[in-house]
Amino acid sequence: MHFSYNWICELVDGLKSDPAELSRLITMKTAESEGTHSVGEHFRQVRAARVLTVEPIEGSKNRKAIVDAGDLGSKTVVCGAPNCRAGMVTAYVPSGAVLDGREIRKVRISGIESEGMLASGAELGLNRDQAGILELELEPAADLGCAPDTIIEIDNKSLTHRPDLWGHHGMAREVAAIAGRRLLDPVKLSCLPDGEAGIGISVEDANLCQRYSALVFENVSVKPSPLWLQYRLQAIGLNPINNIVDVTNYVMAELSQPMHAFDADKLRGSTIFVRNARGGERLHALNDESYQLNPSNLVIADASGPIALAGVIGGMDSAISPATTRFVLESACFHAGSVRKTSSSLRLRTDASMRFEKSQDANNTVRGLARAVELLREVSPGIRIAGGLADQKQELAGVPRIHLPLDWLNRKLGRRVDAPQVRSILESLEFGVEETEARAFLVSVPSWRSTKDISIKEDLVEEVGRMIGYDSIAPVPPALPASVPPPNPERAFHHELRQLVAAQGFDEVYNYSFLSEDVVRQFSLAVEEHAAVANPIAADQSLLRMSLVPGIWKNIVENSKYSDSFRLFEIGREIHKQPGGLPNEITHVAAAVYSRGSSSADHLFELKALALSLDGRLAVTGTEARPYEHPKRTAALRLQGREVGRLFELHPSLLKHGRAAILDLDVDTLYSLRAETRRYRPIRRFPASGFDLSVVAGAREPAGVVQNHLQELAGPELETVEFVREFTLPDGRRSLSYKVTVAAPDRTLSSEEVGRMRSEMIEGLRAKGYELRV
Amino acid sequence: MPTLDELAEQTLHRIHSAPDAETLEAVRVEVLGRKGSLAQLSKTMAQLSAEERASVGRTLNAAKQALESALDARKVQFESEQMALQLEAEWVDLTLPAPGPRPGRLHPITQIQEEIEQLFLSMGFTVLDGPEVETEFNNFDALNIPPDHPARDMQDTFWLGPGQLLRTHTSPVQIRGMKKLGPPLRMIAPGRVFRNEEVDASHEHTFYQLEGMMIDRDVSIANLIYFMKTLLSAVFQREVTVRLRPGYFPFVEPGFELDIQCLICGGPGCPVCKQSGWVELLPCGLVHPNVLKMAGIDPEVWNGFAFGLGLTRLVMMRYGIDDIRWLQSGDLRFVKQF
């Protein structure tokens, strides 16, 4: 929302602060100002000037004009505007003036020296008319009646809760309270006519339209607004259209009351209906779009159908046109939620809908009309009001009252504010204050604050707090009991994991939670099993990841462009759709080793070591490879019988150059199965004994299987089975050597006992079909 | 047979002239061994009188000790020469690179997040987690943002389906935390959040926040200011000046925007603070009574403050990162810098 400094000054008696100071004060006490910019500086130099002569310039579509610029004398300018003609009065910009950041200089154009320029409304920042130079009804040398101004830009987000601040009068009230000045009211309710309503109003559901007020005007002349009015609207970003529409926008920008004017001669019947749209109804709107309506849309209708979307936009068929002589002026209060729903479902946000969705004050409708009457008399001389005020309203809510205990207020603020100061702050914002008991006020909330913003005493803490200035509150340490916070061991586990993985050479990356369908298919994952975003930012970011691996793969591809070998990892959540309820979010760690040259299995063993450093009990077991895994270089990682991860080389077809191994572990399961607190076992007092066994296994029989057999066959005295070495026999089979260590807790085992254990193991292995190399 | 003096003199000469440890050992065996020359000499003592025996014995012992210490000295000399040769041969060029991977780097958001978690743990806060996919109720309704409330526009939302969305802020963890732990309560909740926004150098659809909340009896704005000042001074490792100004967030009342005095210029104004001297840092406020009620807490007994710290923004400020997209680029040239 853009605010005109001059406009605010007109509404605050004797305001002294300059625009920059005002911008700062509004930021500190009311709403965030994003800055200021000045407009119309050039109006210090621009004059009305009469065009004396116009002659063509050979070889150019420009013409040479001599103008009478009053006190500046006569000037020669080159002008390209088609409407430039002798006798007209237009706007002359002398050289040296700055228009839109560009200095106007004496220059030769088409061989003629031009001393300044004749300007269009758009060039002067009065409107958006670029078709020709301004046509004025002024005497030469007259001032255009537009003064330089400063625009204060307020962040709309910080006005979300303040329907009253969507107009200059509301902001002026804040400024008056901040500056300790008197607020001036531009509204004269006496402008409203008495008598029987000029038009019938029928409101179907009073909840959706709390109040509908209207006046009918006749003897209207539709034409451009006076310059001051166009300038004021243009300066705050509203588009001047014609005098009637401009008045509705001016009142909206001043009083925060959206209005709409319907050409009365285009309406069928003599009643305005406020009702829900009926199925199949359409509206050709002022933006030249045609909207298909449904019963959730509140419309304004005449006897034949919708003429406007209530609180959002008017219809083209009843728009004010140069031919209009009578019109109906609507000033209503529509239900915030209904307007918002319609505006967002049609993707149509307008100046009106933005205001209505903040919950407007129903008391404001007639104030808007009264202000409009006064302005219309100025911009359309001879205009008459036909009939009296039409005003259909629901019982208006009474003034809410809030009990405000002053000691409680001081405790919330954390500083003392005296009762008279609290009273004066609230009264400056037009709250009613009564002292009904000692150290407590009964505070009545003004109607423009009570629609949504203020209903409880906490809301008043803010009113007092912001006006005394939060910088007047000194920091105070809270009085709190010392206590140990409840632990979050799971998060501590994640942190430990991160540290361990990073310490082993892996750099941490963060990837998005979104995947494209293409990537999911590339990894042969099922698209339909993924949770999907209904309104993705781009079509290729619609699915929520069920695996970190595609993201890691992309990291590998990207980084391999800059680096021949690297290690990286991510800890993040997989999101698994569940029938009913929220998806299951499972934290995973995925780590990768990449190098360009080698196809050796070293990467896999490095990741195996990493996995074991995270939990030494992890068992590596054979498994069916998934499509993105190397079919002969993939293993499942199991803990207490549950699969908790995968260790694999990325399928070589997924990389142009080089190989990558990936470890993918379910951190949540790893956490839930983490080792319990360790207990001390006495150190063995008697020496252990050991012997070696060399087992001949099939060419591709996993050593892990052989080792499991050894462990099962050994008796209770087994301490450890350690792999020593392997080599391949001429026939392709593998000889696997192990060192078996045995011991008893209470004695040294005799060599006979050890020999017997060894023989039993050998026999057991033979029984399972293994050959031994003894 | 040589006399003791002759034997001693000859042996000393041989000890000193022995070329290596083996020769030296041979000399020791020949002279001082059990069947060595000295032993032979001492055998002759048996023929002497007791008086003479005592005197010769002393001379013999003295000679033996002298020879032994000469032997030891020579032996140590050989050993140290040997050691010196070995050391010389074992020269290593330690300026060669060490093998194996260097430790990896943690993502800068991880680093700042852990740092802030530690800080809050030390102030008695617990760390909570919440899901990235949330219910509409926890993300909006329970935070006093009912359907059709214009505040929903402040956070463009990714919807999964009716009532399910990607959380737009970490604030739903307030609701989860209050329901789980009840008052009094001190908690933070860091995590990933999502907004349906076009990505450019300063906007991301995925970023990180850290929610904080304290519920107790009579928590005041003065307490909030104290806490924020303490927290931010620790985060920036210097005394910071903060200011509160009104800000609208439906789940707090009053609500504030907290600014810190620009750390670059210290107040007079510079490009970083857009000449204002202040940098907007975090939204905060006293918890709205409706939010407490939604979580089953009586607002007449308990109240508190809440704040939302933008971790992504903080990382960018701390390291002077000019493009938010680096943070989730997965580019190791970026990550390795931290």
> Is there a contact between A337 and B147 if contact means CB atoms under 8 Å apart?
yes
The predicted structure's pLDDT at residue A538 = 86
Question: What whole-number distance in Å separates Cα of residue A710 and Cα of residue A761?
Answer: 7
Q: Consecutive 10-residue runs of chain A (774 residues): their mean pLDDT?
A: 97 95 96 94 92 91 91 91 93 91 88 91 92 89 90 94 96 97 96 94 96 97 95 96 97 98 96 95 96 96 96 96 96 96 92 95 97 97 96 86 96 96 97 94 96 94 96 91 86 95 97 95 91 89 95 97 96 94 96 89 95 94 93 96 96 93 97 86 88 92 91 90 93 94 91 93 93 83
Q: Which two tokens stand for residue A713?
A: 């066959």
Q: How many helices (H) and strands (E) in chain A?
A: 19, 41
The interface pTM score, or ipTM, of the predicted complex is 0.87
> Average of pLDDT values for B196-221?
93
Question: What whole-number distance in Å separates Cα of residue A607 and Cα of residue A723?
Answer: 19
Question: What whole-number distance in Å separates Cα of residue A543 and Cα of residue A531?
Answer: 6
Alpha helices in A297-405 (DSSP H): 336-345, 351-356, 364-379
Q: Dump pLDDT digits (tens) for A181-205.
A: 999 999 999 999 999 999 999 999 9
Q: Which two tokens stand for residue A743?
A: 């011991």
Give me the residue from B106, B133, B286 closest to A583, CB to CB.
B133
> By the 8 A CB rule, do A743 and A717 touch?
yes
Q: How many helices (H) and strands (E) in chain B?
A: 11, 10
Q: How confident is the model at residue B2 (pLDDT cuts 50, 70, 90)?
A: confident
Give me the residue from A473, A537, A551 closest to B225, CB to CB.
A473
Q: Which two tokens stand for residue B139?
A: 């993300």
Q: Which residues contact A102 (CB under 8 A, 6 or more apart)?
A: none
In this predicted structure, the answer to whether residue B148 has a pLDDT above a threshold of 80 is: no
Cα→Cα distances A85→A53, A58, A69, A743, Å:
7, 17, 15, 117
> By the 8 A CB rule, do A318 and A286 touch?
no
Question: What whole-number distance in Å separates Cα of residue A627 and Cα of residue A523?
Answer: 7
**Edge-to-edge, what's the strand order for the sheet holding A327-334?**
A259-263, A327-334, A209-218, A384-393
> Is there a contact between A510 and B332 if contact means CB atoms under 8 Å apart?
no
The candidate with the shortest Cα–Cα distance to A122, out of A81, A169, A71, A180, is A81
Question: What whole-number distance in Å separates Cα of residue A432 and Cα of residue A453?
Answer: 16
> By the 8 A CB rule, do A350 and A312 touch?
yes
Q: Dump pLDDT digits (tens) for A29-38.
A: 999 999 999 9
Give me the residue from A485, A486, A573 closest to B132, CB to CB.
A573
> Is there a contact between A503 and B104 if contact means CB atoms under 8 Å apart?
yes
The predicted structure's pLDDT at residue B1 = 67
The predicted structure's pLDDT at residue A229 = 96
* DSSP E strand stretches across A200-270: 200-203, 209-218, 259-263
Give me the residue from A458, A487, A502 closest to B253, CB to CB.
A458
The predicted structure's pLDDT at residue B264 = 80
> By the 8 A CB rule, do B254 and A453 touch?
no
> Is there a contact between A498 and B106 if contact means CB atoms under 8 Å apart?
yes
Listing DSSP states for A351-378 in one string gives: HHHHHHTT---TTHHHHHHHHHHHHHHH
Q: Dump pLDDT digits (tens) for A691-701.
A: 999 999 998 88
Q: How confident is the model at residue B8 (pLDDT cuts 50, 70, 90)?
A: confident
- How many residues does the structure list for chain B? 338
The predicted structure's pLDDT at residue A694 = 94
Question: What whole-number distance in Å separates Cα of residue A570 and Cα of residue A664?
Answer: 10
List the single residue in A with minimal CA-CA distance to B180. A486
List the single residue in A with minimal CA-CA distance to B301. A408
Q: Which residues of chain B lie closer than 8 angstroms to A566, CB-CB?
A: 332
CB burial readout B178-216, b (16+ within 10 A) else e: beebebebbbbbbbbbbbbeebeeeebbbbbbbbbbbbb
CA of A649 vs chain B CAs: smallest distance (Å): 19
The predicted structure's pLDDT at residue A678 = 80
Long-range pairs, A624-632, Cβ under 8 A, ≥24: A626/A524, A627/A523, A627/A524, A627/A651, A628/A522, A628/A523, A628/A524, A628/A549, A628/A553, A628/A654
The predicted structure's pLDDT at residue B274 = 79
Q: Which residues pair with A68 in a beta bridge?
A: A50, A74
Question: What whole-number distance in Å separates Cα of residue A688 and Cα of residue A696?
Answer: 26
Q: Which residues of chain A lie closer than 8 angstroms to B126, CB-CB?
A: 485-488
The predicted structure's pLDDT at residue A281 = 96
| Helix (H) / strand (E) containing B21 | helix B21-32
How many cross-chain Cβ pairs, A to B, lie less than 8 Å apart? 240
Q: Which two tokens stand for residue A72?
A: 């500046």
* DSSP E strand stretches across chain B: 126-127, 133-135, 159-161, 164-166, 185-194, 206-216, 242-246, 252-261, 278-287, 303-310
Q: Dump pLDDT digits (tens) for B244-281.
A: 999 999 999 999 999 988 888 888 888 878 788 888 88
The candidate with the shortest Cα–Cα distance to A688, out of A655, A640, A654, A722, is A722
Q: Which residues pair with A745 in a beta bridge?
A: none
Q: Dump pLDDT digits (tens) for B149-194.
A: 777 776 789 999 889 999 999 999 999 999 999 999 999 999 999 9
List the single residue in A with minimal CA-CA distance to B221. A413
Question: What whole-number distance in Å separates Cα of residue A333 and Cα of residue A246?
Answer: 20
Rounded to 10 degrees, the C-alpha dihedral A200/A205/A209/A212 comes to 10
The candidate with the shortest Cα–Cα distance to A223, out of A323, A87, A129, is A323
The predicted structure's pLDDT at residue A138 = 85
Q: Which residues pair with B39 in a beta bridge?
A: none
List the single residue in B with minimal CA-CA distance to A468. B245
Q: Which residues of chain B lie closer than 8 angstroms to A491, CB-CB?
A: 117, 127, 129
Give me the residue from A336, A461, A562 closest to B333, CB to CB.
A562
Q: Dump pLDDT digits (tens) for A411-469.
A: 999 999 999 999 999 999 999 999 989 999 999 999 999 998 999 999 999 999 999 99
The predicted structure's pLDDT at residue A682 = 83
